[in-house]
Amino acid sequence: MKTEVVVPWKLLPLCGFPRLPYSSSTFTAQLRSRSPLRSVKLMASFSSLPNQIPVSDSQPEVDVFQLIQTHQQKAPRLPPRVEIRTLLQYSSRGFLSTLSQKYEGYPSGSVVDFACDDSGSPILAVSNLAIHTKDLSGNGKCSLLVAKDPKDRTDLVITVHGDAVPVMESEREIVRAVYLNRHPGAFWVDFGDFHFLRIEPKHIRYVSGVATALLGSGEFSYEEIQTAKVDHIYQFSKPITSHMNKDHADETKLIVQHATSIPVEFAEMLDLDSLGINVKAGIQGSSFKLRIPFPRPAADRKDVKNIIVEMLQSAKTNT
């Protein structure tokens, strides 16, 4: 594995260097780079929050950036290999780059649906009429870019470099089942002009923190990603976060306030894994992403519910 980190030297003592792919400073630097927000006055209702920086008459303001920085440095995250393997396993769409057969020497791009098989290799269902299919028939070398949050370029972005090869007829039914499990409405995979391709990964590169004070990146071999375990809790992200955001937004905000000592005005759950929750929070018109760790690793979906209830009870008790 290769990793690269570009950090202004003044931030090195703060960043816990290196923490990849998500150094805590990525998010806090994003906050600073996008907004003039530096500090807020803490209201009396937050004075009892744990680990809060003391507020006195001579120092009535607390640096929100520093609060976020301090909290995020200690927030446990999935190991990079596990997070990358997990995101690929549960993603369904990416940006395919091929070598153009029509415009020799130039790349060509397409938005494609995919599904990963048990080995972590992306599976594509392609039409013989598609330009990228024609490109790959001439040269199978390609890349597949997968963005965790396409609307946020500072979030995790993964690029799989590999060779696209036809799926053997003996594997077709297994591969078809894998693809339809991720895309249940893809009835067209059985049309006569469609067939399956497997991208055999060679190298997997990731980057996070683009356009912020901290840029983190690295590279893994396919073998390193293949042997990484998929986080078993991430699959429950959508139903749990949807429920919490729809029915328990105030409770989520309270949990974030208690965990970070920051008087956020709103907090929205984005996703979760066995070690914690990723949220989007806001204060004074600015929004930023935060990692909220669980007090202990979650064993299963029911345990996630129990942990969230425990976190809420703790927040209510200490508010």
Residue 98: strand pairing partners? 108
Cβ density class 90-106: b for 16+ within 10 Å, e for less = bbeebbbbbbbeeeeee
Q: Could you tell me if 224 and 1 are in contact, meaning their C-beta atoms sit under 8 angstroms apart? A: yes
Could you tell me the two tokens for 173? 């039914």
* Greatest extent of the chain over all pairs of C-alpha atoms, in Å: 76
How many whole angstroms separate alpha carbon 303 and alpha carbon 65? Answer: 32
Element (H, E) at 280: strand 276-283
- pLDDT number for residue 284: 82
Q: Tell me the pLDDT of the chain (319 aa) as tens digits.
A: 655 444 333 333 333 333 333 343 444 444 444 444 433 333 323 323 333 334 444 444 567 777 787 788 788 999 999 999 999 999 999 999 999 999 999 999 999 999 999 999 999 999 999 999 999 999 999 999 999 999 998 899 999 999 999 999 999 999 999 999 999 999 999 999 999 999 999 999 999 877 654 467 899 999 999 999 999 999 999 999 999 999 999 999 999 999 998 889 999 999 999 999 999 999 888 888 899 999 999 999 999 999 999 999 999 998 7
How many whole angstroms separate alpha carbon 199 and alpha carbon 168? Answer: 13
Q: Could you tell me if 132 and 98 are in contact, meaning their C-beta atoms sit under 8 angstroms apart? A: yes
C-alpha neighbours within 13 Å on the C-beta side of residue 269: 28
- pLDDT number for residue 8: 35
- Closest by CA position to 239, among listed 293, 296, 171, 308: 308
Q: Provide the 3-class DSSP secondary structure of residue 287.
A: strand
